[in-house]
Chains A and B, each alone.
Chain A
């Protein structure tokens, strides 16, 4: 009886975590460059159901519920939409931007940048895109597909640097930080810097943003499934409880 209770408890926990993950995805529906998370389930260990000393086939086994084997991030590309803003950048390919905050470095696909007082490009998390600096008083910023940044000011057009892109020998080695930043440590793979337009890195598109790589319909369908599965597990738990109560009331 306790096993039925604990199996349904596992089920409730797993579905709850799934709803949490879906909620996280849905709340990021407007976060540029967001990559969806998915919970992957696996069945818990199988055990013999025949107790020692009782007759029966000891190879008769049953499982013990479910576990969340992993919450995985899927890096498939999202759609690119036009915004027309000169500091919105989308990567049409697989590269990542590298941004720094103090001594910490992060990688991101979120290309919403702003110009700060000292002429740096910063994103919404206050991280700076390195290697680019603008002199004060510029009118127009032009970023080409290979990441070359030029600024048009009173003195004419001047070069302001080039945006580098980065790739990883293993995407699974990236760790999730807040604000859709990813951090990297060298326990898994290496970082390979490169120039946009070279094979594998993709091109930089000025005036565009990458939207999240999930669809609302898909998430809603998953949410309904998770909610119903939660209900069924709750129902099993109630049944197990009722049966336990019957056993307790054997002797009136």
Chain B
């Protein structure tokens, strides 16, 4: 009896985490280069149920052996959160510091900090800006990396051009080239804050199929209609689990109060 109570509780717990994820996706529906999360729910490993000491076999005076009667689940758990890397909506902004990635690649940024100098992060959020010290940075404040390190543009905000291969020119003079990376498997990318991904397995390769376009931005790949459907789905499933708990509660109440009552 109590097992059912805990199964429904685990369902409510998991659905709560899902709604947290949906809320996060919706909050980032307008963050450039944001990649949505997909939640994978699995059931706990099933348990074998065995009946012991069942009805006596009429032909034998010995008690019947234990008997397998099948398996049962014991609730749900969150197995995995995977990032959906499909490309978001592309739009023109006309700003020189907005750069779009065409292809599967990522911009490399300097994500050092917490005692890890030289740590490289990867992002598809191309809404860059020149910071107060004249370096090209992401909106979150990470400096964008070129082939020779950080990219210093100084006052060239209005003068620099980015060619499709990532070369940066100021007044027609080539100064640097954006460091672009591609991954044969995106599984090694670990999502951090500020739209930065960390490459945990060192799987980054120099980009070969990615070009860039200045003055355009990739939006978030969150589809708000899908998110609304998921909100409804999750709420209803949550409600069903809540009803289950209430039914279990009523059954328990009957067992406690009515079984053995002389009334």
What residues of chain A have their CB less than 8 Å away from a CB belonging to chain B? 1, 3-5, 7-8, 10-11, 14-15, 18, 38, 40-46, 49-50, 55-57, 59-66, 69-70, 72, 74-77, 94, 167-173, 187-189, 225-226, 228-229, 232-233, 235-237, 239-240, 242-243, 246-247, 249-252
Contact = CB atoms under 8 A, between A and B. Distances in A.
Contact of B23 (A4, A56, A249, A250): A4
Given A57-B80, A62-B17, A42 B132 contact: no
A42 B23 contact: no
A49 B81 contact: yes
Contacts of A4: 16, 19-20, 22-23
Contact of A63 (B17, B191, B242): B191
Contacts of B97: 74
Nearest to B12: A247
B95 A189 contact: no
Interface string B240-263: 001001100100000000000000
Contacts of B17: 49, 62
26 contacts: A1-B20, A4-B22, A8-B26, A14-B27, A40-B127, A41-B30, A42-B125, A43-B24, A62-B21, A63-B24, A70-B129, A70-B141, A74-B95, A94-B158, A169-B154, A171-B130, A172-B129, A172-B131, A172-B132, A173-B132, A229-B26, A229-B29, A233-B26, A237-B23, A240-B23, A243-B15
A95 B204 CA distance: 42
Contact of A43 (B20, B34, B190): B34
Interface in B13-53: 15-17, 19-24, 26-32, 34, 37, 44
Contacts of A40: 32, 127, 129, 139
Given A62-B37, A69-B139, A170-B154, A235 B228 contact: yes
A27 B146 CA distance: 39
B158 A189 contact: no
B141 A243 contact: no
Interface stretch (B64-72, B173-181, B205-213, B231-239): B231-239
Contact of B27 (A11, A61, A171, A242): A11
A-B pairs with lowest CB-CB distance, top 9: A11-B27, A40-B139, A4-B23, A45-B193, A7-B23, A69-B139, A42-B140, A41-B31, A3-B20
B194 to A, nearest CB: 4
A210 B97 CA distance: 22
Contact of A3 (B23, B37, B44, B154): B23
A69 B194 CA distance: 8
Nearest to A199: B171
Contacts of B32: 40-41
B150 interface: no
Most buried by B among A10, A45, A167, A229: A229
Given A57-B80, A60-B81, A229 B155 contact: no
B129 A170 contact: no
A231 B28 CA distance: 13
A169 B134 CA distance: 8
Most buried by A among B23, B155, B159, B242: B23
A94 B129 CA distance: 18
B155 A170 contact: yes
Nearest to A48: B81
Contact of B134 (A14, A170, A187): A170
B79 interface: yes
Contacts of A59: 190
B73 interface: no
Nearest to A243: B238
Nearest to A168: B155
Contacts of A43: 24, 28, 31, 34, 193-195
